[in-house]
Structure 1
C-alpha cells in the first residue's frame, strides 16, 4: 500500500468513526466553515487517535497560498553560504511539521512572494531592506531572522557569543587580538564586532579589526586578506576573533601556509559551529535547529494576530584545537 493510499484509508476511517462524510472530515481538518464546533472537535479527536498527519503538499492543494510560507533572501550573494543552506533545511523541516509548505524566494523573486505565499520568513537584512514594509502593507504576516526591530524577529545572541570568544582568548593570555569580519564599515554589520570591542575595552586592550567584502567565498577572502596582512606587517597579533566559521577556516589556512603554528603562536575562534566546517575550530555554537523551530513558532503567533516580539536564541562557546 502506498503512502497516499494509506492516508486515503485513514481519512475514510475517520469519516466512518465520526459518522460523517469525507467532505466534513476535510472541513474539520483544514479549519473550513460548514460544520459545528462540537463535530469539528470530535473529528479532530478521532484524527489524533488515528495519528493522521496530512502532508504539507495536500494542505497547499486544499488551502491554496495560505499554507505556503515564503522563505525570502535579501541578498543574492548569500544564497550558497553554508549557514543559510543549513538554516533553510531546518526551516523546511519545522514548517512541514506544522503542516506548512515552504517556498524559496531569491532576492530578485521577492516581488512574486505575495502572489504565491500567505506568510513569510525573511533572511539576510540590509540597511535599505524594504521587504518587511511591503509585506506589512499587503497584510502578509512575516518573521525576520535578524536584529530586533519592528514586527516579529529572532536572532542568536551574537554580541554575547563574541564576548565569550574574546574573553576566552584573553583568559588564555592573548593580548593582541584582531577581529576579522565582513563589511564592518556598515552599521548593520557591527553587532558581533560590538561584543569584541566591549571586552577589549573592559580589559584595557587595543582594538583592531580587518574588514572583508561580503561574498559567498568568505573563506577564500579571509585567506587572501590575511596573507596580504602578514606579508605587509608580519605577525603582529596573537589571536583572531572571527565573525564566522568560514572566515576562521580561511584564516587558519593562511596562518599555516605562512608557517605560523595554530594555536601556539596565534589562537583562532569562529562563530556558528557549522557541522560541515567547524571541525577542530574553537567556536561559538548557535542552535540553528532551535532557531528554525522558534522562527516557525513566532510565525504562528504572527498569523494569529499576536503582539510582535523579539526572541534571542542562546549561544555557547565550544573550545577545540584552534583556541
Structure 2
C-alpha cells in the first residue's frame, strides 16, 4: 500500500500549538513589530519543534527574496559530464551557499541569447536573488542586462566588465596570461620551438587572452611555429585538432590543451600514430585533475584550488546581496606542476 507523504507544517499549525493568531505568527517569524518578545520566542520555539521552514515561493512573492542563486552555462551539454573544472567550481559554490542556506538553480542552454532569455524569465518569476556568470565574452551583453534587471551578479573569469556605473556586479578571475606564459617558458627551456595550443571556444574572453599571450611569447622568443586552434572543449574535437596538427608539414613537438579531457584525447591520438610521450611529443593540460594524475604518463598541468575559486565567487555574491559594494578580486595564478608528459624533444 502506498504511503501518504507527511504534510508540511504551516503557520496555521504553529498558531494552533502556540495559542496565538496566524498574523501574530507571521509578525514573530518575520521579525516585525506587533507581538511581545515572549510571544515571539514562543512562536519560534514551536516552529522549530514542528520543523517548519519558510516557503521559497512565498518569500519571493512577499519581496523577501528567493534564497536562491542562479548559474546558466551556454556550452555544449556533452562537454560537461567529463570536464572536472566545472564540477569542482560548483562544489565550492555550493559549499558557500549551503552555509547561508541558499540554493543553486543551474541550467544549461545552447547559446548566449538563450542564456539572456533565462535571466529575464528568472527575474520575472522572482526565481533568484542573484547570479553567478561564467565564460565572459570580449563584448558581453550580460552585465548591462543584469544591471537593467536589478540582479546582483559575480562574473567569474573577467578582470573587469563593461557595465553601467554603480552596477552591483563583482568580478573574480585568475591570470590566464601569466599561466600561459609559465607554460611557454617551461616548454621553451626544454628546447621546444614548435608549440601548438589546442584552445577552447573562440568567443570566450579567457580563450582570447591565452591565444594572445601565446602569440606574444612566440614573437618575443622567436618561435614562428607556435599557433593556436579553437575547439568546443570536447574530447572529439580535441582529438581531431591533434590529428590535424600532427599531420601538418611541421608538426609540433609540444601541445598545450585548454582542458584535461582534450589532453587525454591527445595522448590517445599520439599513441595511435606511434608517437611516444614525452620523447616524440610533450603534452600539457590547462587544469589538473584525476585524469591528469592517472594517465600514463601523468600529465604536466596547471594546478589551483578550483573549489576555493568557486567558494570565493559565491561569497562575493552573498556579500552583494547583503548590501556590500562590488569588488574585483584576482585569484592566485595557477601553478605549473611538472610531470612525466613533458621533456626535451628528440634531437
Under TM normalisation by the shorter chain, which class is it? 0.7 to 0.9
Q: Any residues of structure 2 matched to 1:1-323 within 5 Å, and which?
A: 32-34=31-33, 60=56, 63-64=59-60, 66-67=65-66, 68-73=68-73, 75-77=74-76, 80-81=79-80, 82=83, 83-105=85-107, 106=109, 108=114, 109-116=118-125, 117-127=128-138, 129-150=140-161, 151-184=169-202, 189-206=207-224, 208-213=226-231, 215=232, 217=234, 219-233=235-249, 235=251, 237-276=252-291, 279=294, 280-314=298-332, 315-323=334-342
Partner-residue secondary structure (3-state), 1:87: helix
Q: How far apart, CA to CA, are the structure 2 residues paired with 1:286 and 1:28?
A: 46
Q: In 2, are the aligned partners of 1:156 and 1:286 still within 8 Å (CA)?
A: no
How far is the alpha carbon of 1:54 from its aligned partner? Answer: 9.8
In the superposition, relative to structure 1, how do residues 111 and 258 fare at CA in structure 2: closer, same or farther (>3 Å)? same
What displacement does 1:246 show?
2.3
Residues 270-294 of structure 1: per-residue CA shift (max 9 Å, x gap): 1111334553211001321111111
Residue 194 to residue 252, structure 1, CA distance change in 2 (3 Å): same
In 2: Cα distance, 1:27 partner to 1:159 partner: 54
Which structure has greater helix proportion? Answer: 1
Cα distance in 1 between the residues matched to 2:280 and 2:153: 47
C-alpha offsets along residues 166-210 of structure 1, whole Å, 9 cap, x if unaligned? 211222222222222135587663112233334334433335213
Aligned residues: 296
Aligned-pair RMSD on alpha carbons?
3.8
Structure 1 gaps of 5+ residues are 5-11, 48-52
1:202-251 CA distances to partner (integer Å, 9 max, x unpaired)?
433335213133x352x22121122133234263x221222222222222
Tell me the distance in 2 between the aligned counterparts of 1:205 and 1:274.
30
Provide the residue aligned with 2:164 in structure 1.
none
- Correspondence for 2:166: none
- Runs of 4 or more off by more than 4 Å in structure 1? 21-29, 183-188
Contact 1:96 1:102 in 2 (8 A): no
**Length-normalised TM-score, structure 1:** 0.75
TM-score by length of 2: 0.71
Q: 2:23 and 2:313 mapped to 1: Cα distance?
A: 33
Give the 3-state SS of the residue equivalent to 1:263 in structure 2: coil
